[in-house]
Amino acid sequence: MTAPKNRVIIGSRASKLALIQTGWVRSRLAAAHRGVTFTVKEISTSGDIVLDKPLPEIGGKGVFTKEIEDALLDRSIDMAVHSLKDVPTELPPGFVLAAVTTREDVRDAFIHHPRSPVKTLDALPAGSVIATGSLRRRAQILSWKRGFRVVDLRGNLTTRFTKLERSGWAGMILARAGIMRLGLADRIGETIEASRMMPAVGQGALGIEIREGDDPVRALLAAITSEAATFAATAERAFLGRLEGGCRVPIGAYGRIESNELRLDGLVASLDGERVYRGKINGDPAAAAELGVRLAETLLRSGAGTALAQIRAGSAGAR
């Protein structure tokens, strides 16, 4: 039997939000395991450094995890804390997603310009400019409010708030959970219901990545693992994986446990928001991955497959 660890190093991106999230994990692990010392190591990722290009152009979700995985590989850290929505559905060989934490609010939020009295999307006039770094949000905004113009936005949340203040934009759209974790709830003009803007896969949850076979570290994580969030994340990530999606395609999903049943909503859209394919499924939480795949296949048959093929063909042509 492998001996338990008494000192654990947690890897984290260096942004303020990432460190808040990692601090939350550290404090709860420390409370659950009094004999173990937990320390945090900050790591800069490509996604944090390269800010002058849209995320799909620099490698998609993996740009927020690769350098941290390198640190796992060379054993300078023992576990990595990620925003689950940043974690690719297929991890490199040798790594596993060992825990999903209790999920915060999955919804997106509209942050109006601080000098604008207009705080909701519906109240904005045609021609308003909305900033977002997400193709999923972009497509759904354009589908919902066709008179809007959408511009790309990169950087950590602190940077994004600064860019908004210096801009002529009407506002920007961010994940509500991150805003709340930063203590910036007063900046939210409108919380957008999931029925109107489908969240990103894994949005609102933290995922803990470890080396495959590291049983002592996995055992420590049982204390902060949420069964309900794990079922939901499993279904959503299976849905995304079957669609072979990532940052280059507008895909959203929302899984949750209601009345002891797993309910999963999914969305695929064209880049311009002209075509939006939605579906839902429910069933036994233990069959979460199967439910995610089945919903993806339903949307593929309904026409989403054609939309995805066109997006990928366009991306290949752009390269």
Q: Which of 72, 93, 92 is nearest to 81 (CA)?
A: 72
Active-site residue list: 86
Q: What is the mean pLDDT of residues 174-189?
A: 95
C-alpha distances in Å from residue 97, one per residue of 92, 198, 230: 11, 23, 10
Q: Which residue has the higher pLDDT, 260 or 311?
A: 260
Q: What is the mean pLDDT of residues 192-221?
A: 96
Q: Global pTM?
A: 0.89
* Single-letter code of the amino acid located at 92: P
pLDDT, residue 312, reads: 82
Give the DSSP letter string of 118-162: --SSTTSPTT-EEEES-HHHHHHHHHH-TT-EEEE--S-HHHHHH
Q: What is the band of 4 on the pLDDT scale with cuts at 50, 70, 90?
A: low
- For the chain, list the domains and their CATH numbers: 1-101+205-225 (3.40.190.10), 108-192 (3.40.190.10), 226-319 (3.30.160.40)
In this model, does residue 51 exceed pLDDT 50? no
Three-state DSSP at 257 gives strand
CB 256 within 8 A of CB 263: yes
Tokens 């915060």: give the residue. Answer: 104
Distance CA 130, CA 121 (A): 9
Distance CA 275, CA 260 (A): 33
In this model, does residue 55 exceed pLDDT 70? no
Report which DSSP code applies to 63.
Answer: G
Q: Which token pair is 63? A: 């740009």
